Amino acid sequence: MELTRETVTALIGAVLAVLLQIIVAPAIALFAAVPNFIVAFCLVRSVATPGHAGPVVPFVCGLIFDLVGGGPVGAMAFVLVLVTFLASRLYLALDNDTLFMPVAILLASTVLAEVLYGIAVVASGGGVSLGEAFLYRTLPCMLYDCVIGLLLYPIAIRVMVGKPLGQPGTPVLR
């Protein structure tokens, strides 16, 4: 594996995300909504570095999330691999170097990831209906994750890419 800037920052970010998920997330839970730093990191990374966002980091992070969290092992790994791939491909296809597109894709992919994970949990015998799962878990969690993703994205752009993306005449992150 070539030690590029993207690779190193991805590894460091993954470790930080896992630690934040284990240590900080339970402490800052709002009611039933526990933030998911792993989801936010993986999706931000897939949008920030779409050309280098391979499936390994999402898979490993998702697997750790499953193993630590007690949910169905492999579910989050599957969801993250799938959604990050879709997000990166969508960004590569739709990127217009504006702020809107990455943010929109980030939010949409976050929603998709949480919804898919909710379906996976319910399907694997969560003991609740899909509607309840969406209302009481998926919805608040996706909102929380969106906020965290929006906070992480500018940082990821600075750290992972090194220079703000943009073109004349469009809003850019500086």
Partner 1 sequence: MALNFQNNSPAPVGRVPLILTLVLALGLVGVYSAEGPDGPIHRVQSFVEGAAAPLQMAGVPLGEAVEAAEESSSDNAASEGTLTALREQNEQLVAQLTSSEEIRLENERLRGLLNLRDIYDIRGVAGRVIGRSTDAWNQDITLDVGSSSGVETGLTVMGPTGVVGQVISVSAGSCRVRLLTDPQSGAAAMIQSSRAEGIVRGSLDGLLYLENIGADVNIQVGDVVLTSGLGGSYTRGLVIGTVARVEGSAGKDTRKIVVAPNGSVSLMEEAIVVFSAAEDASDRSIPAPSDQAPADGADSAGEGGQDAGDGTEGGSGSTGDGAEGGSGDSGPDDAAGGEGDA
Binding site for partner 1 (CB under 8 A): 19, 22-24, 26-28, 50-56, 58-59, 62-64, 66-68, 70, 72-75, 77-78, 81-82, 85, 88-89, 92-98, 100-101, 120, 124-125
**With respect to partner 1, which residue has the nearer C-beta, 135 or 171?**
171
Tell the smallest beta-carbon distance from residue 100 to partner 1 (Å): 5
Contact 91/50 with Cβ under 8 angstroms?
A: yes
**Closer by beta carbon to partner 1, 135 or else 153:** 153
Calpha distance 30→10 (Å, rounded): 28
Q: Residue 36 in contact with residue 141, Cβ under 8 Å? A: yes
Shortest separation between residue 71's beta carbon and partner 1, angstroms: 9
Query: Which residues, at least 6 apart from 56, have a Cβ–Cβ distance to it below 8 Å?
Result: none
- Nearest distance in Å: CB 29, partner 1: 9
Nearer to partner 1, 81 or 142 (CB): 81
Residue 103 or 143 having the CB closest to partner 1: 103
Q: State the Cα–Cα distance between residues 166 and 174, nearest whole angstrom.
A: 10
From residue 22, give the alpha-carbon distance in Å to each of 34, 75, 103: 11, 18, 26
Nearer to partner 1, 21 or 135 (CB): 21
Nearest 5 degrees, angle CA 158-CA 159-CA 162? 60
Name the minimum Å distance from CB 132 to partner 1.
Answer: 20
Closest CA to 143 of 173, 115, 102: 115
Least separation in angstroms between residue 42's CB and partner 1 is 12
